[in-house]
């Protein structure tokens, strides 16, 4: 994956750092076929059993006597595809999350103040301890460091470098200048 990037650092009061990287890797459109009977509603999920946001549905072959017309007797919303008086073989498409890779981040907490990092346009799917920093207390996942959705943190004196892997959100992109890897570190 090619990712042209420009990184900017701002330090405010010595405690907050913002890292912004510009450029988008291409999103990936995933399509498959599904036969739906008349008066059906199905929830579309990916291979990890997560619901996806359907972006497009089209008729490949009609099996009912009545013609299938989008938003009249078949359609989609959110992760659902439905039919009313239409039995058809449908092409269903959604946008797949893009892996924007793994980054090495340093989280350095004191015994009283946690250290947190937030990824603005991504979801963390993996966090791995690489090495403890000097004068760090023992770092243990679930006790002194962890992650949830787009945030990772250390606490209780854990000071270490971590490899954090992120998947990009699958929403529509407004412009080429939106950042795909934005961090606010506190």
Q: What whole-number distance in Å separates Cα of residue 86 and Cα of residue 43?
A: 17
Q: What whole-number distance in Å separates Cα of residue 152 and Cα of residue 139?
A: 13
Q: Tokens standing for 105?
A: 């981040």
Express each pLDDT in 118-132 by its tens digit: 888 778 888 989 988
Express each pLDDT in 1-37 by its tens digit: 333 333 333 333 333 333 333 334 345 788 999 999 9
| DSSP code, position 178 | S
Q: Tokens standing for 116?
A: 């947190």
Q: What whole-number distance in Å separates Cα of residue 7 and Cα of residue 89?
A: 47
pTM for this predicted structure: 0.45
């Amino acid at each position: 994956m090619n990712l042209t990037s420009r990184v900017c650092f701002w330090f405010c009061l010595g405690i907050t750092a913002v890292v912004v990287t510009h450029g988008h890797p291409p999103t990936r459109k995933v399509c498959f076929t599904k036969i739906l009977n008349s008066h059906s509603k199905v929830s579309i999920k990916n291979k990890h059993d997560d619901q996806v946001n359907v972006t497009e549905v089209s008729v490949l072959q009609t099996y009912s006597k009545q013609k299938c017309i989008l938003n009249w007797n078949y359609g989609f919303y959110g992760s659902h595809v439905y039919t009313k008086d239409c039995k058809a073989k449908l092409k269903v498409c959604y946008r797949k999350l893009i892996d924007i890779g793994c980054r090495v981040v340093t989280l350095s907490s004191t015994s009283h103040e946690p250290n947190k990092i937030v990824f603005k346009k991504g979801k963390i799917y993996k966090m791995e301890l690489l090495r403890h920093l000097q004068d760090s207390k023992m770092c243990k996942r679930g006790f002194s460091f962890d992650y949830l959705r787009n945030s990772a943190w250390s606490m209780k004196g854990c000071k270490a470098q971590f490899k954090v892997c992120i998947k990009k959100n699958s929403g529509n992109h407004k412009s080429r200048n939106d950042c795909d890897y934005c961090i606010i570190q506190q």
